[in-house]
Copies of this chain bind each other. A is one copy, B any other.
Amino acid sequence: MSTTLTDRYPTRLLTPAPAMTREDPTAWGTADDGPLTSDRLDAFDRLGYHAEQSLLTRQEIEVLQEEAARLAVDPVLRKDERTIVEEKSQAVRSVFEVHRISSVFARLAADPRVVGPARQMLGSEVYIHQSRVNYKPGFGGGPFYWHSDFETWHAEDGMPVPRAVSVSIALTENYPYNGSLMIIPGSHRTFVPCVGRTPQDHHRNSLRTHSVAVGMPDQNSVGELARTAGGIEQFTGPPGSATFFDSNCMHGSNGNITPYPRSNIFIVFNSVDNVLGTPFAAPAPRPTYIAGRDFTPVR
């Protein structure tokens, strides 16, 4: 741990600390840098997200659905550590690093409609920090409690500042009642430090359930964000709809008792000017299939 950087986002503390205003920008680029208009880029800057009702066509989604289904039953992949299996049902919950496993997903990540807005939002070339397919089954898919991804990526992966953006692309219909993504609008401007030291190999548990307290904000801070930052926005839409969101958005999702599964592709782009170092608050870096260290720009 020879780093001499000042940690501007201290977290995993021994005692609670107040939420702090984020110092770094959200939209680093301009309207000249990509597909989003100045108005839409401003909205992303203010709200922390940008939603598209039809980023991909129905035909394109069918190909991606087939590829996702193929990966879920691949017997070799099943034994791979990149495949996360649900505790109770033993069903596949996520497959990580799909842009390396599958050329279909590699092409998707490089598609200008996908990577273009990310480059523009981050104002630089970008590389893939993480990619995965999430399979959220019907009839009891569990909730994901409120969290900031950046809090984890900073603490456990050594990501210096919140200059990363995620895109979630729907493979199935997102209804209001099947566990769709919720974001507190404007919450990305506040950093909520979390209490509790990161245990060794924390990711092995935190990826399976979200019942572990480390890396979770306290209820008061989340309630305060919802009160002051503007309630809750829920993202619904057909297969092919997509949500880009800033790495520090406070987000989560409810469980899903409905018969309707909710699958999506999740790709995280990080700025090449924000590459990973030593974790800021964890004993060791997470595996590279969760937090990539190949900083080659997406072309």
Contacts and interface: CB of A to CB of B under 8 A. Distances in A.
Interface of A: 138-140, 143-146, 175-177, 179, 182, 219, 222-223, 226-227, 232, 234, 252-260
15 contacts: A138-B223, A140-B143, A140-B145, A143-B255, A144-B257, A146-B257, A176-B177, A177-B254, A182-B258, A226-B258, A226-B260, A227-B259, A232-B258, A254-B255, A254-B258
A177 B258 contact: no
A41 B222 CA distance: 43
A219 B145 contact: no
Contact of A259 (B139, B226, B255, B256): B226
B179 A254 contact: yes
A299 B226 CA distance: 44
Contact of A255 (B146, B175, B219, B255): B255
Contacts of A227: 259
B252 A219 contact: no
A139 B218 CA distance: 10
Contacts of A182: 177, 258
A38 to B, nearest CB: 31
Nearest to A234: B177
Given A176-B234, A177-B234, A254 B252 contact: no
Nearest to A139: B219
B254 A257 contact: yes
Max chain B Cβ within 10 angstroms of own Cβ: one of A219, A255, A260:
A255
Contacts of A232: 175, 177, 258, 260
A283 B258 CA distance: 32
Contacts of A140: 143, 145
